[in-house]
Each structure stands twice: as structure tokens, then as C-alpha cells.
Amino acid sequence: MCGINGIVKLDKNKVSEKEISLMNKEIQYRGPDDQGIFTHEGVGFGHVRLSIIDLSSKGHQPMEYAHQNRKIEIVFNGEIYNFQKIKGELQGKGYVFNSTSDTEVLGAAYLEFGFDCVKKFNGMFAFVIYDRRKNILFGARDRFGKKPLKYYLDKDKFIFSSELKAILTQGVKREVDFEAINDYLTLQYVPAPRTGFRNIFKLPHASYFTLDLSSRKMEIKKYWNLDYSKKLKLPESELIEKIEEKFEESVKRRMIADVEIGAFLSGGVDSSAIVAFASKFKKQLKTFTIKFNEKDFDESEFAKKVAKRYGTDHREVLVEPADMKSIIKKLIRQYEEPYADSSQLPTYILAQKTSAFVTVALNGDGGDENFGGYDKYEKHLAIPFLKMMPCKKVLAAKLFQISKQKESFLLYKIALFVELLDEAPVRQHFNFTHYFDIFYKNDFYKNEYQKRFEKIQYDSFDKFKKEGEFKGLDQILYLDFNTYVPDDLMVKVDIATMANGLESRSPILDYEFVELCAQIRINQKIDIFGRRKKIFKKMLEKYLDKDILYRKKKGFSVPIKYWFRNELKDELEEAIFDKKGLVLKMMKEEKIKELFDSHQNGQNHSKKLWSLMSLNLWHREYFLNK
């Protein structure tokens, strides 16, 4: 696991080692074990290395690979879990390898299979290859965007990196992308390809790019898509056996390393399942869990129970408001884009503590998206039964009115649900997952911004309708795998772990396992009676106790609603009412004041307030304090 950087000067000027060194230095924490630089005329690559496989100097990058008069240079961040199988195939074709690293195999696979090499890789990756003979750059990201790749392109230069902050070392002009901010205020993250900075982009997941250094033409293509159209028709017992077998394969693949491996253990279904299966391959697995003083949010007792059952070497990490105070500025800088998933705080602290004991940690991300684990999915299941309700618009208007009078956010959410019953599923989802839905935005935005965004409210989601037309809830699962998973979940984990020199692996997001889950019928995953992840939990009954499997889901959330009324109240108020910030630039001050006061008086607006606070702190860090 590493960090990659690069500069290509399309105007034929030379790239200096000093320029690449500056980028490497900015993300040194991603790879504390080694670093390297390659320059060749107008092309420069940089790499910082966290050694996981082949700890020797033979794994050094940037790495050159040559075969039959063709020579390439590569920088690679990630792990190819099936590289040994690919290596054997390539050796049969005459390729020679000098190391035991997957980087060398990746380079050889490109020479043999061209751009289609990415379709052969099972893993997490972001890489860029300089093909000298073709005079092109070729780069790609894995299917779920586990590893980042950001870039800037103008007529004279192309700059790429694992992290945007390294790109900024090259004097790129900083401008706020307000369309990205509009998306962020709804979603809590910026969906690809935007980043929050104008003219700096992220390569979308499951995509590759080519850049012709002669014509300066860049093309981006998607190489993989999730298909929900084909469903398995198997007896339940056979399906459970198939899920169990594929899940075990996914975990086993991620146990390969030349360093110590552990696992995050929240006490929920997914992380507990990972620990249960990982324990088949490693005795006394090291496990790590977050603990809160606020009992409504604390799941440490359940984690402890799983740890005891599987004999793990278990550690708890307490997270308190003081932790937020001490690292909030660092978090804002590390996440570098507008980002308001508050679970970034415990994830970061957990990674920090975990890195003292292991170099690789397994996580449970992806279970809810594969098997329908969120309550928002139940709303979509209920919609077909409620669409025939008479006078929906009248009822919604009345509920909106009452919710405003009583300052009831619960009534507001019911009103929103009724109002959207006749909308397309994608647009319903856009608002069900909201921080600021379109109605809140219309109420809060100043006239200038209301008019600016009124025609693009759904752009970031509507584009996915062209790629996959599936029925019912499958549309929503597809949407989450194309937005929420790569642009929120994977961002949270990559930044939190790599900032602490830790690699995190996601077995439930093995693409072969996800493809299997896409073939499972919705009614085997979730129903309108609140039973979620049904077939997955059924498979796990022989591995986990029923109070782990069937208790009410808490999720990996933070008691920020309490903190904003007490220990973090002053920090919140100072940030959101900053006269130089984006919040008061875009939104009416009296509406922000109403929101703040309502929260202090007992309503829960913590998500909205956290998104506003994070936005202003991000703007301060990257635009006012530069």
C-alpha cells in the first residue's frame, strides 16, 4: 500500500526530481518505508511505499519492466490478490520476473493484455504506466474505488496523485467548484469526477484513462459494470452454501501478506463475520474496536463477545469529544475534499491505534449494500404499496406545515416521503439519503444560488440511469455501488488508514462476491417487515450468536448530536457563522441560526450542522489559509 505521484509536461519541458520530491513529501505518511523518483524528459513519477508483499528492495517503485524490446515504467498503489495466478499464466508465455511483488506482474500483464489487463485483476488498485514506445500514459482504478487517483490537466501539463494535496504543491490555481458543493450538501461527499476544486478531478471507479503525449488527448473508459439483471434460482440451502464458499474465498485472498494482519471489529454483523472467517486462517487474530461513553452508540460489549468466541487478541479504543477537538483540523486537511461522514473520526482514531500493532486490517464495508442492510432500502420497498394513496400532495403539504409548527424533524421526513412517492426511484433516493434535500436547499439558499442550481439538482444521480436499468430496489443498490461506496465509504477508509501507515482490506467488496450478491433476489435479502440481510444472516447462524445477528442495527455512528450541545457547541458556532466562510455566502444567515437554535433545543440536526461546519473548515484550510 502506497502513494503515487506524477507530472507530465506536454509542452516538452523536463520534469525535475525536485518537483516530484515535493509531491512525495506531501504524502510521505502513505508510504513510510521507502520512496522513489523516476524522470525521463517530460515525464516524472514518484512513489512512497508501505511494504506489504516482497519487503525487499526488489519491490521498489517506480518500477521498470521490460519484455521483448518494450519497456514501461509503473507506479502502483494497492494489492492484486490473484497476482500469483496471473504470474503463472504470464510465465507460460515467456515473461520473466525478478521479484515476488504484484507490481511486476501488473506491468507484465499490461504488456501482454493491453488495456484489458484491468479486467483480470482482483484487488484494490490505482496505477499509472508510462509506455515509452507508444508514448502514452495508461492508468486505472479498481472496481469499487478502494484506491484513489486524482488529476489535473491543462494544455501544458498533466499532474496525478493519490491525494489532491500533492497536486496543489505544483502551483495549481485553487478555485471552489460550487456545483460540487451543491452535491456535497445533499450527499455528505463529492461524487466523482468532481473534488470540490475546479479543474481537479478524480478518476471514477472501475475506469481507466489513456493520455496520448503527442496529441495531448485524454480518454476515460469504464471497464466493468455491476449487473443485477440475472437472478439465481436455487434452493435456499444451495444458495447459502454458495454465499459461504465465495465469502470464505474473499477473506482468504486478503490474508496474504508478509506483515502482521488484524481486523476492525465493531460488534455488528459484517465485521463480526469477517473475524469469524479470518480466524479460520489465523489463530489469535488481533482485533480492534471503538468504545463510546454514550451507551446509545457503544457496541463494544458485542465486539468483546465475538472476540471471546474466536479467541482473538482484542483491544478497545475509547473515543471522546476531546478527541474530536484535538484532531478536527487534521481530519479536514487529510480528507482534502468537502466530506461530512462523521464516522471518519472513530475510523481515523481506530486506524491510528491499530497501526501500532499491525500493518494490515480487515474491515466489514459493503455488507449493507450487498444485502440491503439500511432502513432507507425499506422505504423503497414500501413505495409501490403507497403510490395509490389518494391526495398525496395535499397530505404532504399538511405534514410539512405541521412539522414546521411543531419543529418536528420526524414529521418532516414523513412529509418528504409522501411528497416523493411519484418521483423516479433515483430521485427518491437522492432525497432519502439527504443531508440537505431539495426542499431544504430552496429554503436555505440565497436567491443567487437557488437559481444557479435549480436545473442540476439530480445530475450526479441521473447519469447512472443510462448505465443500468434494473427493477425495484436493485436500481438503488446499483446506485449505491456507483456513488456512496466509492465516493464515501472507500474515501473514509483509505484516508483514515493511509494517514496512519495502515493498509485496510475489504473482503465483502471482493468483486466476485459482489457479482454473486447481485444475482440474489431482493426478497431473499430484505423485506418490508424490517428483516434485513436475511440470507447473509442465515448463512452466519453457525458462526455468530443470534444477539449479534438479529439485534437492532446501530451503524458506525458518532454521538455528535450530544457533543454539539455540549463540548463542541462553541467550535460549531464559531465555524458555521464565520463571515468569510461558504455557508453564509451561499445560505441565509437567519435559516442557519434557526437550525442551530433548534438543535440546541432538542431537535437532531447534527448531520446538517456537521456538514456546514466541515464545509467552512475545509474552505478555511484550503482557500483562506493557503
Residue 320 to residue 325: CA distance in whole angstroms: 9
End-to-end CA distance of the chain: 29
Residues recognised as catalytic: 2
Cα(456)–Cα(518) distance, integer angstroms: 30
Contact 602, 564 (CB under 8 A): no
2-9 and 43-49 as β-strands: parallel, antiparallel, unpaired?
Answer: antiparallel
Q: How far apart are CA 569 and CA 564, in angstroms?
A: 5
Query: 251-284 burial string, b = 16+ CB within 10 Å, else e?
Result: bebbbbbeeebbbbbbbbbbbbbbbbbbbeeeee
Cα 110 to Cα 3, 74, 105, 121, 132, distances in angstroms: 20, 10, 9, 11, 13
Which residues, at least 6 apart from 85, have a Cβ–Cβ distance to it below 8 Å?
none
CA distance 538 to 531: 11
* Residue found by looking up cell 462553541 in the block: 570
Kind and range of the H or E run holding 371 = helix 367-371
The amino acid at 227: D
Backbone angles phi, psi at 107, to 5 degrees: -65, -45
SS (H, E, C) 261-320: EEEECCCCHHHHHHHHHHCCCCCCCEEEEEEECCCCCCCHHHHHHHHHHCCCEEEEEEEC
DSSP conformation letters of 24-35: HHHTGGG-BTEE
Q: Is residue 10 within 8 Å of 156, Cβ to Cβ?
A: yes
Three-class HEC string of 517-551: HHCCCHHHCCCCCCCCCHHHHHHHCCCCCHHHHCC
In the numeric block, the cell 505544483 is attached to: 170
Q: How many Å apart are CA 293 and CA 319, to the nearest integer?
A: 8
Please give the Cα distance from 432 to 569 (Å, whole number): 27
